[in-house]
Structure 1
Amino acid sequence: MSTKRSGPTKAPAAGPKRQRKMLSIADKVKLLDMLREGKSYAAVGRHYGINESSVRSIKKEEKNIRTTAAISFNKDAKRVATVRNKTMVRMESALALWINDCRKKNIMLDTNVICTKARILYQNFADSDREEEEDAGPSTSAVHAVPSAFNASKGWFENFKKRFGLKNVSLHREMASANTAEAEAFVNNKFKAIIEEGGYKPEQVFNMDETGLFWKRMPSRTFIMQEEAKAPGFKAQKDCLTLVMCGNAAGFMIKPGLIYRSKNPRALKNKNKDDLPVYWMYNAKAWMTKALNLDWFKNCFIPEVKCYLRGKGLD
């Protein structure tokens, strides 16, 4: 009597997948230094928690690893750098050092500032490399030609941020306090009813608003290296003035009002303020006040609007 065949036995459940350990370039250099000191592959592998075969693979790439460590500014990089234009590599390393120096000095940096500095550095290094290759002879220049143009494009900047761990952070924020819902309701309902009831034309409908102009203000965001927890605070410049802008629905703008903190600034010494293209006002904080608003309305708005409407033949 034949025996029943037993079904295929199930393989035991696999355990959790082992996480691959990636050493940074700096750690790989230290590992190679330990091998140079005479330590065995097995001892070095136990020290870093990796297999002996991984240590031997790192040893085979010693030349590339040390070259990457010499030219790379990013100490936490885990990949060996591919062969790139040496002018670009030098420029990026110098640019990263410049960004770090600016952060220590609390100098705000945005994309345009960084890209402009990158173009300047690249041109300086390219000119230097070109002179060295010309001195070395024509054969060397033909092999190591230096690219003539670098535009600091958006793609380059995104890759630069990834290579050097740059991130964009906000320095300060301000919550909006305007009641936009009520403003929209007034424009769409009450204000529209007033215009229709009075039969006003677009030339007779004026709108005034004020805005602060911080003419020494720095950017509100900056770039820092990824290892930095946050950007240190800074004291923003308070030099500002207030502009009073007024125009009608037909597109006509009257003379702007300007509020400054000084009645007679040194730059306008012995100057007639009536000849300025703005209506000059002053306040210790360069802010709009009830008194200044009334002064602007009586001495600037009414004369300007009367003259304009008289020329249009309107009330």
Structure 2
Amino acid sequence: MKVTVINMKRCSQNIVEMEKLLLIWLEDQNQQRVPARLSVIQEKARELHTAVVKRNGEGSASEEFSASRGWFNRFKARANLHNVKLQGEAASADSVAAESFPRGLAEIIREGGYTADQLFNVDKTRLFW
């Protein structure tokens, strides 16, 4: 993953420093083949921003940073990150529903008397009319 930080003239110095550190962290995660999740990247950005503000002193402590999805999209553009893929469809799936789904599906299969030949995955299938 080759990254280049560009067009950061509108960002505060703390955010510039934080994003440089975040790029290093992302590169490390990429080399370790750790999948990127938006929530983890956002949390790391907030953590790094807090550390940079603390290191730079009191004058910068009033700066707000939320690590929003919009910030992330702008960060990707500024850093020229084209190959950052978030884990999962939108990295925002309903984990409670996903956890209970296998039991519910097993119940439907059992009640319907379906066989293995009647089951298939349509996750990447499209229907054209």
The TM-score range, normalised by the shorter chain, is 0.5 to 0.7
Select the structure that is richer in strand.
Answer: 1
Separation in 2, partners of 1:83, 1:159: 11
Separation in 2, partners of 1:165, 1:83: 16
The 3-state SS of whatever aligns with 2:19 is helix
Within-5 A mapping of 1:27-106: 74=4, 77=6, 81-82=8-9, 84-106=11-33
TM-score, normalised to structure 1's length?
0.26
Select the structure that is richer in helix.
Answer: 2
8 A contact 1:91–1:125 mirrored in 2: yes
8 A contact 2:29–2:35 mirrored in 1: yes
Gaps of 5+ in 2: 90-100, 109-114, 117-129
Separation in 2, partners of 1:112, 1:103: 16
Within-5 A mapping of 1:1-315: 74=4, 77=6, 81-82=8-9, 84-130=11-57, 141=59, 145-167=60-82, 168-169=84-85, 219-220=87-88, 243-245=102-104, 246=107
Match of 1:269 in 2: none
Gaps of 5+ in 1: 1-72, 135-140, 171-218, 222-241, 248-288, 291-315
Runs of 4+ in 1 over 4 A off after TM superposition: none
Deviation of residue 113 (structure 1)? Answer: 1.4
Deviation of residue 150 (structure 1)? Answer: 1.0
8 A contact 1:87–1:146 mirrored in 2: no
The 3-state SS of whatever aligns with 2:66 is coil
8 A contact 2:36–2:85 mirrored in 1: no
CA-atom RMSD, angstroms?
A: 3.0
8 A contact 2:17–2:52 mirrored in 1: yes
1:152-177 per-position Cα deviation (integer Å, ceiling 9, x unaligned): 1122111101011223448xxxxxxx
Query: Partner amino acid for 1:149?
Result: E
The 3-state SS of whatever aligns with 1:74 is coil
Separation in 2, partners of 1:220, 1:155: 18
1:227-282 per-position Cα deviation (integer Å, ceiling 9, x unaligned): xxxxxxxxxxxxxxx944337xxxxxxxxxxxxxxxxxxxxxxxxxxxxxxxxxxx
Query: Partner amino acid for 2:43?
Result: T
Query: Partner amino acid for 2:45?
Result: A
Q: Paired residues, what number?
A: 94
8 A contact 2:22–2:45 mirrored in 1: yes
Larger radius of gyration: 1
The structure whose RCO (Cα within 8 Å, separation 6+) is larger is 2
